């Protein structure tokens, strides 16, 4: 099926979307800048390439978030919820990862951004914030060899 995206509006007026509002998107193109998405089948938006942490296909439908509406009305989209919520959901992923790995993991704040992205689908910055949060809650220990659950 070759869907036609020409009906999508390139710009949006003020007040149509709020920052971090959840929307439905469908991926319709890959460009040098990133991924073009149809937002709620009405507007076109862009997910910048440096904020893509997973593999996606044309025609894929997902939940996404309005990052911002620029002055020219163009819409920046994020495939992750805002930072605070993202850190919160990442702490859950890390806890599941640790439980599956028997309480110890080689991942820590010195792990490469690529390895973190491949394992947890987040940036190193979000990962570090998440393990920092777990550490402060006394749920994990951070060592030179990785992280581990505190019994």
Label residue 19 left, alpha or beta by phi (over 0 means left) and psi (-120 to 50 means alpha).
Answer: beta
Residue 1 placed within a domain: no
Distance (Å, whole) CA 66 – CA 82: 9
Are residue 36 and residue 66 in the same domain, yes or no? Answer: yes
* Residues spanned by the domain of 67: 22-78
As to burial, measured by CB atoms within 10 angstroms (0-12 exposed, 13-18 middle, 19+ buried), residue 126 is buried
User: For residue 148, which phi and psi values (nearest 5 degrees)?
Assistant: -145, 150
- One digit per residue, the tens of pLDDT, for the chain of length 151 reads 346 788 899 999 888 998 889 999 999 999 999 999 999 999 999 999 988 888 899 999 999 999 999 999 999 999 887 766 777 788 989 999 999 999 999 999 899 999 998 999 888 988 999 999 999 999 999 988 999 999 7
For the chain, the domain total comes to 2
Are residue 127 and residue 100 in the same domain, yes or no? Answer: yes
User: For residue 129, which phi and psi values (nearest 5 degrees)?
Assistant: -65, -40
Whole-model pTM: value is 0.62
């Amino acid at each position: 099926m070759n869907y036609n995206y020409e009906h999508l509006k390139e710009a949006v007026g003020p007040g149509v979307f709020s920052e971090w509002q959840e929307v439905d998107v469908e991926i319709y193109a890959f460009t040098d800048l990133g991924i073009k998405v149809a937002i709620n089948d009405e507007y076109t938006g862009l997910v910048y390439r440096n904020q893509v942490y997973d593999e996606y296909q044309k025609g894929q439908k997902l939940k996404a978030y309005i990052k911002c509406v620029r002055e020219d009305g163009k819409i920046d989209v994020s495939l992750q919820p805002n930072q605070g919520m993202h850190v919160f959901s990442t702490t859950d992923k890390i806890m599941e990862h640790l439980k599956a790995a028997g309480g110890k993991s080689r991942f820590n704040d010195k792990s490469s951004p690529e390895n973190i992205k491949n394992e947890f689908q987040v940036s190193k910055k979000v990962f570090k914030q998440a393990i920092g949060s777990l550490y402060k809650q006394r749920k994990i220990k951070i060592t030179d060899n990785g992280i581990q659950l505190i019994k």
